[in-house]
Structure 1
Amino acid sequence: MPMTGLSSGSLSSPKVDVVIDTGHPFLNLTVDGFLKIGSIAVSKVAVEETYNCLTKGSVSERNFEHALKRMCKEGVYWGSVAGVYVGMEYGMERIRGTRDWKNAMLGGALTGALVSAASSSNRDKIVTDAITGGAIATAAEFLNYLT
């Protein structure tokens, strides 16, 4: 069951917790990441498709089916990437025995490399995507420290 919390007088975002218990912290975090980020992707596509329908001025069954397929596809893709990242970061934390920004960097780099390797065999692209994944994850971690 999703729970939200918003402290009064706070400028921070509401925190949404999805309670999933698979019996293992690694699986709990991975499923949680999949569901949260996948739902964001679904929402993004829903808003984009709604905007497209409003600008065209028509809604058809074909447009609706296309929107649903796109929502599912992007939700699964974004959720899968998020699940892999959360799992990698958790694995780094367990292996290294500490919780710091380096786990995010390593988890992001490994996730970027894995996602890239699944769709491309170009070594330079895989390395570039690994660097990008590590940089984005590290930046996100630093931003979390600021708030």
Structure 2
Amino acid sequence: MGHNLETRSLVDELKSFDRKGGLFDLGHPLLNRMAECFVKAAGIGAVQAVSREAYFTLTQGGDSNSIPPEVSTARKKHRFSELRGETNQNTVEALVKSTGKESLQWGLGAGMYSGITYGLKEARGVHDWKNSAMAGAITGAALALTFDDSSHEDVVQGAITGAAISTAANLLTGIF
């Protein structure tokens, strides 16, 4: 395998990410970690958003009024309600806009969480459940602020949920 960029294939580049230490080299481990987490999670968020809309379109024929009553109003609120355009161009534009917003939210959450946990580890000298809880709470509150019409209760609930999930993930690391 040659080291010349012109002779290397895309597969060779992807395989070398683990050896090189990541996708980015922004000059500081904190920036590298945040950028890499942002990009990876944004991609996952985009796939999730498009998959969810495809599922609802297939199961309900694109009719947003036919959502079963057992699906919560929170689920309805975050669906792509503006995708019911008059033309295919309006539908695609709305899908791209909504997918971009959701990708940004996923990327923001992952990058922020990763950066906070790294910063707390460097400041405190230890990586434990307390760092995870604090990073989860701050990230959860910040994500709640990105939703339309977020209230004080939404921010508090996001902080509690983020802290609980990240603490549980930290405590369960290595068990499974």
Normalising by structure 1, what TM-score?
Answer: 0.74
Question: Where does 1:73-84 land on structure 2 (aligned, <5 Å)?
Answer: 73-84=101-112
Q: Partners in 1 of 2:133 and 2:118 — Cα distance? A: 12
Q: Partners in 2 of 1:52 and 1:128 — Cα distance? A: 27
Cα deviation, 1:5-40, whole Å, max 9, x if unaligned, reads xxxxxxxxxxxx851111111111111111111111
Deviation at 1:3, TM superposition (A): 4.2
Is it true that 1:35 corresponds to 2:63 in the alignment?
A: no
State the SS of the aligned residue for 1:146: coil
Deviation at 1:62, TM superposition (A): 2.3
Residue 75 (structure 2) aligns with: none
Q: Partners in 2 of 1:69 and 1:108 — Cα distance? A: 27
> What percentage of residue pairs aligned between the two structures are identical?
38
Match for 1:99 among 112, 116, 127?
127
* Residues 66 and 128 of structure 1, relative CA distance in 2, 3 Å threshold: closer
Q: Partners in 1 of 2:145 and 2:45 — Cα distance? A: 22
Deviation at 1:109, TM superposition (A): 1.5
* CA RMSD in angstroms, aligned pairs only: 2.7
Larger Rg: 2
* Residues 61 and 54 of structure 1, relative CA distance in 2, 3 Å threshold: farther
Contact kept, 8 Å, 1:3 with 1:18, in 2: the verdict is: no
Residue 29 (structure 2) aligns with: 25
Deviation at 1:118, TM superposition (A): 6.5
Residue 93 (structure 2) aligns with: 65
Residue 142 (structure 1) aligns with: 171
Q: Partners in 2 of 1:30 and 1:128 — Cα distance? A: 24
* Residues 64 and 136 of structure 1, relative CA distance in 2, 3 Å threshold: same
Q: Which runs of 5+ in 1 are unaligned?
A: 5-16
Deviation at 1:129, TM superposition (A): 2.6
* Residues 52 and 116 of structure 1, relative CA distance in 2, 3 Å threshold: closer
Residue 14 (structure 1) aligns with: none
Determine which structure has the larger strand proportion and give its number.
1
State the SS of the aligned residue for 2:165: helix
For 1:139, the aligned partner's letter is A
State the SS of the aligned residue for 2:168: helix
Q: Which runs of 5+ in 2 are unaligned?
A: 1-12, 63-86
Q: Partners in 2 of 1:45 and 1:115 — Cα distance? A: 16
